[in-house]
């Protein structure tokens, strides 16, 4: 029993959304998490937690894609694939996700 094309498209859409959510969290931009917990904006640890939630979401979607043998790597750079495969949101991930901090790759 294989995956249908509609299912692959669905997971690719969800993967793109999770990637955007993580990148917006890295850039300290508004995400749906802000709407769920607006009071947390006042707390400094909020940004770490927000990034952790977005990272967890991304890893979950990647895990599902892997289990379903859906190719997910093409949506990421080689370095980003390596970070995801290591699964640990380290300072290296936070500092170098966008390759260079002055790139125009940041999400809007």
Global pTM value: 0.81
pLDDT, tens digit (0-9, with 9 covering 90-100), for 49-73: 889 999 999 999 999 999 999 999 9
State the average pLDDT over residues 68-96.
94
Count CA atoms closer than 13 A to 15's CA, side-chain side. Answer: 21
Could you tell me the two tokens for 31? 């995400």
- Kindly calculate the radius of gyration of the chain based on its CA atoms and give it in whole angstroms: 15
Band of the pLDDT at 45, cuts 50, 70, 90? confident
The Cα 27–Cα 95 span in angstroms is 11
Please state the φ and ψ torsions of residue 37, each to the nearest 5 degrees. Answer: -130, 65
The Cα 72–Cα 93 span in angstroms is 18
Q: Is the pLDDT of residue 37 over 50?
A: yes
């Amino acid at each position: 029993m294989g995956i249908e094309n509609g299912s692959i498209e669905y997971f690719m859409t969800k993967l793109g959304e999770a990637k955007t959510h993580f990148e917006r969290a890295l850039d300290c931009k508004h995400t749906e998490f802000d709407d769920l917990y607006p009071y947390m904006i006042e707390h400094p640890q909020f940004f770490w937690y927000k990034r952790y939630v977005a990272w967890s979401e991304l890893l979950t979607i990647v895990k599902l894609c892997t289990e379903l043998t859906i190719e997910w790597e093409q949506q990421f750079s080689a370095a980003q694939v390596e970070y995801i495969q290591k699964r640990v949101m380290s300072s290296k991930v936070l500092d170098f996700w966008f390759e260079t901090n002055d790139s125009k790759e940041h999400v809007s």
